[in-house]
Structure 1
């Protein structure tokens, strides 16, 4: 098995991240809209706002996963983070999502004073839900009609992980 390298996203990664978000499977399971422009991703990734961190997962130098994390600057929510993640379906079931989540959790727990990590996930995305549960995320509620996908409103789970201890 090839080694998965997790690192901070760089300006040179914009085209690769843009490519990930053009994949039908990624669009289906995120809140992205089909046909994203490269320009939009250039603006989204650089300069990176101070309340965000972006990681990429690479195998053999190829970007195969992306995680964007937001930490609110407001004092009463600065102990929380939310994130979005995607993995190239061609590299599914190889530990890419787990590697990205593990690195994000290490950053939150040990470097960024984050006590609570939050996410939303479509209720029918069983593989994602399974990996989130593996890392201690729990379902806290269901948002009915949360997001439009292929002409239908889909429910989503609110999930969160609290720092142990």
Structure 2
């Protein structure tokens, strides 16, 4: 696989990244594309980090030590949904379209497939976020449904698209 941007490094989210994660999600342009509230404190992210469990992996994308992206993947805990998980991600505005999302998804889906043995990975994305939808489709995610008036953004109700990727067995 060709590495489009070797200056982007992926690693597990840790205490060292809390201020960077807080800054990422407090950028108004990033906050409007995710389901996080604006003006979150570093303590909110510290608590999320401390809520670590073995059914989740939390990644950061770094450039020269600065957090430029984040992805959290979690397998569902209910026994009848244990084959499935979901993720959410964000990329700093200046880094969108530069391979950060692809690197995060490559790393997360490797863990989902080869370590968590997930058959199904799902997500929700704002229906007008064409760049993100295109990225997800590139990784094999397919549209499953439209949630009308799912969330509020900029004082307006907005739709989200439900997408999922089913891992097919490669054994014959």
Q: TM-score range by the shorter chain?
A: over 0.9
Once the two structures are superposed, the pairs formed by residues 23-34 of structure 1 within 5 Å of their partners are 23-34=27-38
Q: Deviations over 1:30-55 (max 9, x none)?
A: 01111111111111112413332100
Asked whether 1:99 is paired with 2:103, we answer yes
Partner Cα separation in structure 2 for residue 164 and residue 128 of structure 1: 23
* Structure 2: stretches of 5+ with no match in the other structure: none
Once the two structures are superposed, the pairs formed by residues 78-157 of structure 1 within 5 Å of their partners are 78-157=82-161
Shift of 1:164: 2.6
Moved over 4 A (4+): none
Asked whether 1:20 is paired with 2:20, we answer no
Q: For 1:35, what is the secondary structure of its paired residue?
A: coil
Partner Cα separation in structure 1 for residue 161 and residue 18 of structure 2: 29
Return the match for 2:47 from 6, 19, 43.
43
* TM-score, normalised via structure 2 length: 0.92
Q: Deviations over 1:108-148 (max 9, x none)?
A: 11111101000000011000000000000000000001111
Partner Cα separation in structure 1 for residue 51 and residue 74 of structure 2: 14
Partner Cα separation in structure 2 for residue 99 and residue 28 of structure 1: 22
Shift of 1:14: 0.7
Partner Cα separation in structure 1 for residue 157 and residue 54 of structure 2: 33
Deviates more, 1:40-49 or 1:6-15: 40-49
Partner Cα separation in structure 1 for residue 13 and residue 79 of structure 2: 26
* Structure 1: stretches of 5+ with no match in the other structure: none
* TM-score, normalised via structure 1 length: 0.96
Aligned length: 165
Q: For 1:103, what is the secondary structure of its paired residue?
A: helix
Partner Cα separation in structure 2 for residue 25 and residue 39 of structure 1: 21
Q: For 2:162, what is the secondary structure of its paired residue?
A: strand
Partner Cα separation in structure 1 for residue 53 and residue 152 of structure 2: 27
